[in-house]
Each structure stands twice: as C-alpha cells, then as structure tokens.
Chains A and B, each alone.
Chain A
Amino acid sequence: MSKTFTPSIATPAVITANDLRMGHCVWMRDGGWTADPREAQLFEDEAIAEIAMLDAIGQANLVVGPYLAEARRGPDGRPEPTHFREAFRRRGPSNYFHGIQAELEASNV
C-alpha cells in the first residue's frame, strides 16, 4: 500500500483510483481520468496535488477511493511506479493478461 507522503520534485506522485462502474484502475490526467497510466499527470508540487485530490474526491460519481501514489519521472518524462503494488495495478495480474490493460492493448493493435 502506498504510504502517506507529500508530493515534491524529489517524490512525485500520481492520483489513482478505481472506475466506479467498471472497477478498473484509472489515473488522473489533465481534464479527466485515463485507464492508461502513461497519460497520468505527475504532481511535483504539494499545493497543486492537494487541490487535485480535492477535485478527485469530488468526482465520486466517476471514481472510487482516489489516493496519491508515489511515482517517478521516467526517461520519456512519463510517470513510472516506484512500488510493486502500483506496478501490478498498471500491468494487471501476473497469471492472466486480463483487465483494462489487455483491452487497451487489443484496441491498439
């Protein structure tokens, strides 16, 4: 489980949750939610993250249980998980390639 922390340049974060209707993992991006974690907005400023979290909590008609998850900026500038739990949420279960990740990949083929 992600620990409580303060987003900063040294410890960036993404906001993630589960989709209310479907249950799958989603990440906050500029202007909404995405099932593609690479599109997630990376927060490196505590105040901006706090406002975004309030916004996320206010979208209870769309998502369940939003929280800040520690992340890092990858080589391409996109967010990457720092904890294995968040890595599993991104890639889906290890026994089957199931879930929104599989659906996204299929739709990209």
Chain B
Amino acid sequence: MFDARPQHNEYLRHRAQQFRSQVARRLDGSLTEDEFKPLRLMNGVYLQLHAYMLRVAIPYGTISPDQMRTLALLAEKWDKGYGHWTTRQNIQYNWPKLVDIPDMLDALADVGLHAIQTSGNTIRNVTTDAYAGAAADEVVDPRPYAELLRAWSTDHAEFQFLPRKFKIAISGGEKDRAVIAAHDIGLRLRRNEAGELGFQVWIGGGLGRTPILGQVVREFLPEADLLPYVEAIISAYNLAGRRDNKYKARIKITVAERGLDVMRDEIEAEFLNRRAVFTGVDQDMVAEFRAVYAAPAFRNETDGDYEERRAASVGFRSWTDTNLSTHKAPGYASVMVTFKAPGQTPGDASADQMRLLADLAERYGHADLRISHDQNVVLPHVHKSDLFALYSELKAAGLATANAGLVSDIVACPGMDYCALATARSIPIAQEIADHFRARDIEDEIGKIDIRISGCINACGHHHLGHIGILGLDRAGVENYQITLGGDGYDIPAIGQRPGAGFPAEEVVPAIDRIINTYLDLRDSAEERFIDAYRRVGAAPFKAALYPVNA
C-alpha cells in the first residue's frame, strides 16, 4: 500500500485518537449503543456472534512486509494469534476486546494501515487483481488507479452516507481477475484502436440476496476522466438509490429498476458538470502513484537449477505446476501461497505465518505481498532460481500446500462459527469437502475447480461465482445447504444456478462427490475443466446425479 506521505499516517493517528475517545464515552455511559454503533462501524468494528470483529483494510490487497508484520503483531498481542483473509482482500480479527481496539488502530496507523470504511454505507476497500504489476497478460498495472480511488474515496464527505455500501473493482489484465462484473462499479483498463489508455466501465453488479452481473455503461472512458466519471456514477446513485428498503438499496437494484439508459444519461450529465471542476491534481497523483508502483528491478539471470529441482522433487514439481502463474518478466513467476492446508480454516493465517511471509517477501519477492480474493497470499515477483529455496521454507512452515485452484482450495466466509448475520456454518463444510477429496486422492485428477461457500444470503463467500457454490441456510431450525452450479467470477462471468432443493449438513459432501464423479465421467478429456464441461453439457446430468430419485 502506498503510504509515503507523512500526513496520511498523521491523519490515521488522529482518527484512532478520535475512536479512543468514542470508546471511552461509550464505556462511561456518555454514548448509548445506538449512538456508538455507527461510530464503531466507521472504524471497522462489528459485534459478532462470540466477540467483536475488527476488519482492517488492505487497499487493493497490496501490503508491504512491515505492514504484514504489524498484522501479525495485532493477531498475537490483541487477538488469539491469527487473522482471517477475506474475499475482499482485507483481514479480519475475530476476538479483539473493545477496550483494546484503539491500541490496535494506533499500531496500524504507525504503518499506514487502518480500518476506515471497512464497514458502513460508504465506498469500501477498492479491490483489484492479486497479480497486478506481475501478470503476463497485463495491459497496464491497475494499482496507481486503485490508489487514486482509495485516496479520493477515503473520508469523501459526499459519499459517507450512501444508500448502501459501495464496492469498486479494477482490473488491468486481458483476463479479468478482479471480478469486475460483480461490483457496484467495475473498471477494466484497456487501449482503444488509437492505442490510448482508458477504462471499460461497468455498473450495477453485485451478489448478496439478489445476484446481478453488472452492465457496461461506458465502453471507453479516457484515463484522465476516471475520477469525475466515478464521482458522477456515485453521485447519480446517491440521489436515485432507494433508502426505503435496505434490500433494494444497492446500485444493482437502482439500475435494474430504472434501466441502464436512464442511469447512463444521468451519469453523463453529471459527469460533464464534475469534469469541469477537476483541476488536474488527480492526474498529478496518478503520476506519483505510477512512480511508487514502478516495476521492481527485475534480475536478468538464468533460472539456475530450477528445472533440475523440478525433475528431482515430486513435491516441488507439483507445487510449481499448481501454485505458480506466468509473470511478465523473463525468469520470474508469481507464487500463490494457499491458506487451505489440510485441517486449516480457509483463509486463517497465524502470526508466525504472516511474519514468515514478510521475511520471504523481502528475501525472494522484491518486498511485495498481495492478499487474493480467494483468501490466499501471493508473492507476485519471485525469480525462478529462488523458487526451490522459497518452496523449502514454505514447506517447513506448512505453507507449501500444492492446491491453488484445486478442489481443496475452497473459499469460505466465517459463517455461523463467527458471524452474527450467518444462518449456517461454512468452515466445517469446507473442511469436510477438502478432507474428503484429499482422502480420495483425486485432487490433481479433478483439476482446476472453484468451490465457494457462504453461510448466508449476503454471500461473503461469493458462492454465486463458484463453479460449485454452496449456501448455508436455516430451514426450520436446521442447517441446510443449497448448491449452485456454473458460476464463474473470472473467465466468463456467470451467476451459478440452483438445480434443486438443499441438503442437510451431513449430505453436502456426498452431494459434491456425486457432482464431481459426474464431471469425471462426462468430461471429454483431462484438460476439460469442470466449468467448461458444465457449460458444454448443461445442468441435466448433474441434476440427475444430485437428485437421482427425482430425475
């Protein structure tokens, strides 16, 4: 995260001090809970099932080693030794005491981190591709624009009380890895026929109880117009968005009810007004951020003994086959470190693991770390000659699980094990599925597949986007799990469809097993992924496998 400006940290310390005063006034009775609740939410503090929860923003998932060490400090000193990566590239702490949270915010402020706007009806953490600045297919690094949006949206006076929360994602690759179609605003960097840089702008996407994919409101927005256009979108939404019903307040409903053309007309009219008053300081800032996010000094070296090591070690070869992504620089790879080891809670990271990753990023990864949408951590720039050493250190710490994108790399929200909104648990279901397929020892045979679980219709586990999605519900006082099929957040955005009735908790693993067996039987080759096979044959064979009696 960019935090080079001293005034940024000073501002964060001021905010932490402000919250300290608010906590003191709540405790001495000067503030009621009704008065205090919006104040704590403005600082990312929720009250969950068993404890308070502090959600810390990791802007666009980019974090430095020192910031990672501070996250470890918080886990160790004020929590129970771990934190939880979220699907929005943030971290959550599940056990802080209210009286300690001001100290936690002070520690975060020391390294330019905070929990501002991680809750409330405001612009949330801007998200992007975990491989930004590294991916081989990248058109332009999206992070300077993500930082511009972060700096602009933080404490933006006009947008602190929107009809509902507002999420922006930005993608810079040929392939969308930021799931822009599932965001209130999705931005896709591209060049037009003249070679000029700009954005394809999507609006009105979102998951939750009414999952809707966004629509393109502007095919090409010149790069310099980003802020006035985004401001115009949110301003139009701020005026038109419904405040009478929180379930109909997101921009996706505004667009659906009013129509894209009406929204576009209002946005374009507002855009003309807003653009006129932009002085160009935003472009100066983008230039500054581009310098901050300039590519590191990549080494021009041979791959060393990389291939020999791959040939000699089955474990290393499996890990490189599964957890590496193609890098834009010769001799480099991006490494996905998964937090989905056997028995692990998906996305939980211990303080020791965080510190190790900080050290490894400095030693092997140009001091760069990313939190991914799928609750893992990416070291975006690792030279191939360092991969075996990196792998060895990760393996010693239990962090070299070769399952990135496989059936045990399951995305799961905290569910009813932590969340006050949840209607069923997610974590044990994810663990049971992962354990089952590990026991069958067919993870590699199944290949790439995206399984996602949410413990309620708010869909924090992004189950709608899973090739296989699972939604936990309360059916007459019993946990029940609906299955969706065919969702996709990355290649061809799609909302998963429900083939039939849900299953009791103990029947989820057998149901997923039948789905996987059906896929293995009908795929046309080992290279055909689950989602591709599903698209080819449709839902019918999977439905028949799920509900054999009714088929």
List A residues at the B interface (Cβ < 8 Å).
1, 18, 20-25, 60-61, 64-65, 82-85, 88-89, 92-96, 98-100
Interface flags for B89-102 (1: CB within 8 Å of A; 0: not) read 00000111111000
Smallest CB-CB separation from A25: which chain B residue?
B50
Contact of B49 among A61, A82, A88 (CB under 8 A): A88
Q: Smallest CB–CB gap between B14 and chain A, Å?
A: 24
> A22 touching B51 by the CB < 8 A rule?
yes
**Residues in chain B near residue A93, CB distance under 8 A:** 50, 94, 417-418, 427
Distance (whole angstroms) from the CB of B41 to the closest CB of chain A: 13
CB-contact partner of A83 in B29, B50, B80, B477, under 8 A: B477
Q: Assuming A60-B33, A94-B417, is B50 touching A21 (CB within 8 A)? A: no
Please determine whether A99 and B431 come into contact, CB atoms closer than 8 angstroms. no
Kindly provide the distance from the CB of B50 to the nearest chain A CB, expressed in whole angstroms: 5
Cross-interface CB contact of A94 among B47, B80, B428, cutoff 8 Å: B428
Shortest B155–chain A CB gap in Å is 27
B27 interfacial contact with A, CB 8 Å: yes
Contact B47 A23 (CB under 8 A): yes
| Chain B residues, Cβ within 8 Å of A89 | 49-50
**Sampled A-B contacts (5; CB under 8 Å):** A23-B50, A60-B29, A84-B478, A94-B427, A95-B427
How many Å lie between the Cα of A99 and that of B79 in the bound state?
10
Q: Is A95 touching B428 in the complex (CB atoms < 8 A)?
A: yes
Q: A23-B51, A24-B50, A84-B479 are in contact. List 7 more A-B contacts (CB 8 A).
A: A20-B26, A21-B99, A65-B47, A88-B416, A95-B431, A96-B80, A99-B50
Cβ of B478: which chain A residues have Cβ within 8 Å of it?
A: 84
Given known A25-B50, A96-B80, A99-B95, contact A20–B417 (CB-CB < 8 A): no
CA–CA, A61 to B98, complex, Å? 13
Q: Which residues of A contact B164 (CB under 8 A)?
A: none
Q: Are B52 and A23 in contact (CB under 8 A)?
A: yes
Residues of the A chain whose Cβ atoms lie less than 8 Å from the Cβ of B423: 1
Asked if residues B418 and A23 are in contact (CB atoms below 8 Å), the reply is no
Complex: A29 Cα to B478 Cα, angstroms: 28
Q: Which of B49, B80, B474 has the most CB of A within 10 A?
A: B49
Smallest CB–CB gap between A100 and chain B, Å? 8
Q: A20-B98, A94-B425, A95-B427 are in contact. Are A61 and B47 (CB under 8 A)?
A: no
**Shortest beta-carbon distance from A107 to chain B in Å:** 17
The 8 closest A-B pairs by CB, nearest first: A93-B417, A23-B51, A23-B52, A95-B345, A99-B50, A95-B427, A22-B97, A94-B428
A60–B428 Cα distance when bound, in Å, is 34
Roughly how many angstroms separate A82 CA and B474 CA in the complex, as a whole number?
13
**Which residues of chain B have a CB within 8 Å of any CB of chain A?**
26-27, 29, 32-33, 47-52, 80, 94-99, 345, 348, 416-418, 423, 425, 427-428, 431, 474, 477-479
- What is the interface of chain A mostly: helix, strand, loop, or mixed? loop
- Smallest Cβ-Cβ distance to B505: which chain A residue: A84
Residue numbers in A under 8 Å from B97 (CB-CB): 21-23
Taking the closest CB of chain B, its distance from the CB of A25, in whole angstroms, is 6
Contact B47 A18 (CB under 8 A): yes
Residues of A within 8 A of B47 (CB): 18, 23, 64-65
> B479 contacts A99, CB within 8 Å?
no
A24 to B416, CA, bound (A): 15
B79's nearest neighbour on chain A, judged by CB, is A98
CB of A55 to closest CB in B, whole Å:
16
Instruction: Quote the shortest CB–CB distance from A68 to chain B (angstroms).
Output: 16
Contact B98 A23 (CB under 8 A): yes
Alpha-carbon separation in the docked complex, A18 to B431 (Å): 28
Task: State the CA gap A60–B31 with chains docked (Å).
Answer: 10
**CB-CB nearest in chain A for B344:** A95
B96 CB to closest chain A CB (Å) equals 8
Asked if B29 and A61 make an inter-chain contact with CB atoms under 8 angstroms apart, the answer reads: yes
A18–B420 CA distance with the chains assembled, in angstroms: 11
Which residue on A lies nearest to B417, using beta carbons?
Answer: A93
Q: Which residues of B contact A85 (CB under 8 A)?
A: 49, 416, 474
Q: In the complex, A53 Cα to B26 Cα: how many Å? A: 21
Q: Which of A1, A22, A82 has the most CB of B within 10 A?
A: A22
Task: Let me know if B417 and A95 touch, CB within 8 A.
Answer: yes
The reply to whether A24 and B51 contact each other, CB–CB distance below 8 Å, is yes
Residues of chain B within 8 A of A60, CB atoms compared: 29, 32-33
Residues on B with C-beta less than 8 A from A92 are: 50
Chain A residue contacts of B80, Cβ below 8 A? 96, 98
Q: A88-B417, A94-B427 are in contact. Are A82 and B477 (CB under 8 A)?
A: yes
In the complex, A84 Cα to B26 Cα: how many Å? 32
Report how far A93 CA is from B97 CA in the complex, Å: 17
Which of A1, A82, A88 has the largest count of B CB atoms less than 10 A from its CB? Answer: A88
What is the distance, in angstroms, from A101's C-beta to the closest C-beta of chain B?
9
Question: Is B417 in contact with A21, judged by CB distance below 8 angstroms?
Answer: no
Known contacts A60-B33, A84-B477, A92-B50; is-contact A21 B95 (Cβ 8 Å): no
Chain B residue nearest in CB terms to A61: B29
User: Nearest chain B CB to A31's CB is how many angstroms away?
Assistant: 21
Q: Which residues of B contact A83 (CB under 8 A)?
A: 477
Hey, which chain A residues are within 8 Å of B94, CB to CB?
Answer: 93
Interchain nearest-CB distance for A109 vs B (Å): 19
CB distance from B516 to the nearest CB of A (A): 24
Chain B CB count within 10 A is highest, among A20, A93, A99, for A93
Task: Check B427 against A99 for contact (C-beta < 8 Å).
Answer: no
Q: What is the bound-complex CA distance between A64 and B94, given in angstroms?
A: 17
**A82's closest neighbor in chain B, by CB?**
B477
- A64 contacts which of B33, B96, B99, B348 (Cβ < 8 Å)? B33
Give Cα A61 to B24, complex, Å. 12
With a cutoff of 8 Å between Cβ atoms, the chain A residues found around residue B95 in the complex are: 23, 98-99
A102 CA to B32 CA, complexed, in Å: 30
